Every structure is written in structure tokens, then in C-alpha cells.
Amino acid sequence: MELKRVVVTGLGAITPLGNDVESTWNNALNGVSGAGPITHFDASKFKTQFACEVKDFNANERFDRKKLRQLDLYAQYALAAAEQAVADADLDSEGINKDRVGVIVAAGIGGLHTFEEEAGYYALHEEQGPKYNPFFIPKMIADIASGHISMQYGFHGPNYGTVSACASSNNALIDAFNLIRLGKADAIVTGGAEAAIFPAGVGGFNSMHALSTRNDDPTHASRPFSASRDGFVMGEGSAVLVLEELEHAKARGAKIYGEIAGGGMSADAHHLTATHPEGLGAKLAMKNALEDAEMKPEDIDYINAHGTSTPVGDISEIKAIVDVFGDHAKKLNISSTKSMTGHLLGATGAVEALFSLKAVQEDVVPPTINHADDDVDPNIDYTLNFTFNKAQHRPVRAALSNVFGFGGHNATIIVKKFED
């Protein structure tokens, strides 16, 4: 059977850089950091006291009280981003067969704060017996954002969440891509959401020594590919994309941001949390994505790197890029937008897919901020173009975006300019 072509017709974003696509993208191009002191809880006793939080998000203005009782913060972010994407794609209009519109929105963790609140209350009041909120389980589970979005719009197509830690939303995008090109849906609302900047999230990652502890300078803490990097900065939020079968999009006159060219997945099969030191799984994911897209390494102009600002991960990813792209690696632009957004965990792939699409659409590469010229790691080849500190305008025919998750999960997607 001939596989169908898949394009992107809608975008939505709630991120540490802005509560819509335009502000998020413009702040990324301008090298703005989303980091600051944690406000979700009192972090004064924690090793890390800062994060990249969403700002000025007023849930009471977005949802009525009855609805809010059903929603963990991660699902609130997902619904808000989905509302933007669905409106942008005009997917809630007459003539859309909603039986063939699906929702696949990922979360790496899900309703962590809800779990904290409910389990914490029982721990403090055990003598009273169990008193759990009836919404506890449906607020907490990692698939529920997809359910809420489908219920809001009456989308009856394939509906579920994907969970692969920090690779979750790239897995969601790849699943949506595959279902549409196989003819199982006309369009799918897809992406990811996360809201883990709470005691269990920060404390848990701190105990692994995974987070930066640069409390005196939060905005410069996420510094991928620099020698002084000391861990990732936690982010939160959601990005949602509408993926649509090309002929379906053309028939209704939808605007097209770009085309999904391919996706690749792999496993490191190496360690609970650390990436393979030689980038084995990363190489496989990128090679698989290129093969799926029927593209050569020379066809890629920009790589949105996983680039978490961790001592091991940044090195192994660059090794993998050099191995896969060879001499062409030095002609690429590479950047880590996590230097600005922080690491949105299960939502990070969707945010970076959005950045990759905008880069392809506008021929500009967002920067890797916070690098100093003398802050060099002998294990990193600085003849590569990491797009340090300033966005660069250049032709971007296609962009590749990597995400790698705890458990050794690797997922890579490729987006390209749409040509009819």
C-alpha cells in the first residue's frame, strides 16, 4: 500500500517562554531564559531552588470550578495548548468527520502533584482512615489529557497517551504520523504535557544528582555543551500539534506549516538513567528516522539536540551526531533549546518539534544560550556549529529533533518544508 503524506496544520504552546506559539518562538529566537526561582512550592530546603516554570497561567480564567476539580496541572496545560492548536487548524469546524480525528498526547510522569496531595493527606491523617478524592486516579493517570481533549471536541478517533520518560512526546508524534499515513485517521491532535515542578519531582531528580544546583544564577544554569554544565533545569508546560493527512488538509484549505518526513526509535539497553556513552541508541534512532524519511544525512540542515546540559548526555549525543552525519556534521546547525525552556520531560519532544517546524518554515535556527567562549569541554568538538548565544538565519530544508528518556528510550523525528 502507498503511505499517505502527513503535514502539520495547527500549533499550540504553553511553555516557560510564553503562553502561546508566537511568544514562545519569539523568545526562543531572542535567547530568553525561562528560568527563575520556584514558585509552585517552598523550595528553600531543596538542593535546587529554581526551574523553568510557566508564567501567568490563570486556571480559573480558563476552566470553571467543576472542570478544575478534574484536572491536574499537567492536563490543564495540555487542554490549553490543544485549544490553541485545534483553533489554529480550524479542526472543530463543520465538515470535519470527528470519527476520524484522534488524540495522542503524552506525559512522562502525569499527575505527580495530585499524587503528592492525595498520598500526603493520607500519610498525615492515617488514623482517620482513607479519605481519597474520587478524582484522584483519573487526575493522576498519564493518559487522561488525551481523554479530556477528545471529550471537549468530540474527537472519536484513536485516543491514548504514550509514556517513555523524556522521549514520550516524540513517541506520540511518531504514533500519530504512522496512524495517519496508514489511513487509520484523517488528523490527530498530538504532543505532550508535564507539570512536575513540585517537591516529589524536584526532590526525586535532586537525589539522582540530575538537576543543576546553580541557585545563585538560574537564568545561566542550563548551558548545554559547555564544560561547566552541572545538570538539567526542570521545565513544565505543553505543546500540541495537529497532524493531518495531506489530501484532507488540502481539500479543506488548511494552512500547512511543514511536513513530517520520518521517525525513528531505539533502545540503549544500557542503564536506568544514563545514555550509552558512545551514543549507540541515539545513532540508531537517527539512522532509523533518516531511513524512514528516505533521506540522506546531507538533506538535514538543523538538529534540535536533546542537549540537556548534563555531563554525560551532551557528550554521547554529539558523538552520535558525528558518527551519523560524518563530514556533513560541520555544515549543520545544532542547538539545544533546553538552554532556554529547561527540560519539559514528557512534553519536551513536542516543544522541540514545534521549534523545528518553525525553523524550517522561517529559515532561522534558535540558539543554544549561556555558552562562554572559554568554557570548553575537551570531549566536545567545537568546530561543530552549536548556534551559540544568537539565532542564525540560513536555509533550513529539513530539521531533525532528538529526545532520549530514562530507561534508554530514544525517539527522533524529521520535519521538512512542504512542497506539493
Beta partners for residue 211, in sequence order: 232
Has residue 398 got a pLDDT over 90? yes
- pLDDT, position 150: 98
**Over 90: is that where the pLDDT of 256 sits?**
yes
Q: What is the mean pLDDT of residues 339-350?
A: 98
Q: For the residues 139-157, what does the mean pLDDT come to?
A: 98
In a 10 Å sphere around its CB, with 0-12 CB exposed, 13-18 middle and 19+ buried, how is residue 45 labelled? Answer: exposed
Full-model pTM? 0.98
* Type of residue at 358: K
Cell numbers of 386, please? 552549536
Model confidence at 1: pLDDT above 90: no
Q: How far apart are CA 18 and CA 14, in angstroms?
A: 6
Alpha-carbon dihedral 171, 84, 219, 205, rounded to 10 degrees: -40
Distance CA 351, CA 15 (A): 8
CB of 173 closer than 8 Å to CB of 414? no
Q: What is the DSSP letter of 19?
A: S
pLDDT surpasses 90 at 419: yes
Domains of the chain: 7-416 (3.40.47.10)
Q: How many CB atoms within 10 Å of residue 281?
A: 23
Q: What integer is the mean pLDDT of 259-288?
A: 95
Name the average pLDDT for the chain: 97
Over residues 224-244, the pLDDT tens digits come to 999 999 999 999 999 999 999
CA nearest 263: which of 181, 346, 344?
Answer: 181
Q: Choose the catalytic residue: 40, 166, 220, 409.
A: 166
Q: How large is the average pLDDT for residues 66-87?
A: 97
Identify whether the C-beta of residue 115 lies closer than 8 Å to the C-beta of residue 140.
yes
In whole angstroms, give the CA distance from residue 317 to residue 178: 26
State yes or no: pLDDT of 119 exceeds 90.
yes
Helix (H) or strand (E) holding 28: helix 21-29
| pLDDT the model gives residue 274 | 86
Beta strands in 169-230 (DSSP E): 187-194
Q: Quick one: pLDDT at residue 356?
A: 98
Asked if the model's pLDDT at residue 277 lies above 90, the reply is: no
Neighbours of 216 (CB within 10 A): 9
What does DSSP say about strands 187-194 and 302-304: parallel, antiparallel, or unpaired? unpaired
Backbone angles phi, psi at 224, to 5 degrees: -55, 140
pLDDT tens figures, 51-64: 999 999 999 999 99
* One-character DSSP codes across 265-280: EEE--S-SSSPPTT-H
Catalytic residue among 113, 306, 371, 409: 306
Is 125 considered catalytic here? no
For residue 274 the three cell numbers come to 544514563
3 pLDDT above the threshold of 90: yes
Taking each helix axis as running N to C, give the angle between helix 73-89 and helix 144-153, from 0 to 180 degrees, rounded to the nearest 10: 40
Distance separating alpha carbons of residues 32 and 204, to the nearest angstrom: 27
What angle (nearest 5°) sits at the alpha carbon of residue 187, between those of residues 420 and 54?
105
The Cα 382–Cα 167 span in angstroms is 27
* Grid cell locating 149: 481533549
Answer whether residue 92 shows pLDDT above 90: yes
Classify 243 as helix, strand or coil.
strand
Q: How many residues does the chain have?
A: 420
Average pLDDT over residues 194-209: 98
**C-alpha–C-alpha distance, residues 222 and 295, integer Å:** 32
What is the tens place of the pLDDT at every residue in 305-341?
Answer: 999 999 999 999 999 999 999 999 999 999 999 999 9
